[in-house]
Structure 1
């Protein structure tokens, strides 16, 4: 099982290398998400998100959603915060453009205050990249490796 999770994460990273959204895009703002606490399970976990998007120009936006980890995910973590730079193909996005599914590879290990990187691609026509600006900062004991995904809904 451990070898499978590592192989899946490596395959996802290779797939992300071909995605040009972050290389050719423009940083348009910052997305800060508060993650609920909870237990991870052998086959993965799902936790609720409450997010605020601060664009470089214009009014802020609110999103709700879920974060999912597939693969090995054992242990309990208290709620934490994920902060991403938002990279888009253009410098101006319509309201709600971050809504949609995002996927990417994740690998993190947390004991006490942990660190993890989460690079995700999705949103408007799968053209938006969420690049980590801050580590997870979650407290607890949790080991996770596998494919990560989030789903965001625009909260009008």
Structure 2
């Protein structure tokens, strides 16, 4: 029963974040966030994974580096190898730069893998919940996994910017 309390609290937070974001007005694409993580082992109640993330601002060759941590709570069974996540970054204005993505994002995730796998993540947050990580991200991995979770992604700036990016 105690395991259900964090899941319930995180679920309520995710729903509130998503409803308040849609009520706050129109957003437009300001860039792309790419995150790379190591192997992940899902337990029945969730998993935690460290990430290295790069934000590419739209129309610029500058990239900003973030350390990330993604925590999943809910059904998360299986093992996946090194994976990559990609989000379009949406904001209310184009004033996105160094440190703008710092903060926590909550939402829901699903993932299926039997060999190659795909996943989807809906996350909202950042500074004053002003950033939306694309309503649907792509997650690519290899392994055996089934997950339907409430997800929290925490980003912290690492070393500022590097320019130009080696796309």
Shorter-chain TM range is: 0.7 to 0.9
Answer yes or no: is the 8 Å Cα contact 2:14–2:150 preserved in 1.
Answer: no
Structure 1 stretches of at least 4 aligned residues deviating more than 4 Å after TM superposition: 7-15
Of the structure 1 ranges 55-64 and 93-102, higher mean CA displacement relative to structure 2 is found in 55-64
Distance in 1 separating the partners of 2:89 and 2:55? 9
In the other structure, the counterpart of 2:131 is: 128
Unpaired runs of at least 5, structure 1: none
TM-score calculated relative to the size of structure 1: 0.85
Relative to structure 1, the CA distance from residue 122 to residue 13 in structure 2 (aligned partners, 3 Å threshold; closer, same or farther) is closer
Structure 2 stretches lacking a partner, 5+ long: 160-167
Q: Against the structure 1 CA distance between its residues 63 and 56, is the aligned structure 2 distance closer, same or farther, given a 3 Å change threshold?
A: same
Q: What is the aligned partner in structure 1 of residue 104 from structure 2?
A: 101
Indicate whether 1:70 and 2:73 are aligned: yes
Which of 35, 42, 55 is the equivalent residue of 2:37?
A: 35
Report the CA distance between 1:43 and its aligned residue. 1.3
Equivalent positions of 1:4-153 (< 5 A) are 15=16, 16-17=18-19, 19-20=21-22, 24-58=26-60, 59-131=62-134, 135-153=138-156
Secondary structure at the counterpart of residue 95 of structure 1: coil
SS in 2 for 1:24: coil
The normalised TM-score by structure 2 is 0.80
Q: CA deviation at 1:122?
A: 0.8
Distance 1:95 1:13, change over 3 A: closer
Say what the alpha-carbon RMSD is for the aligned residues.
Answer: 2.5
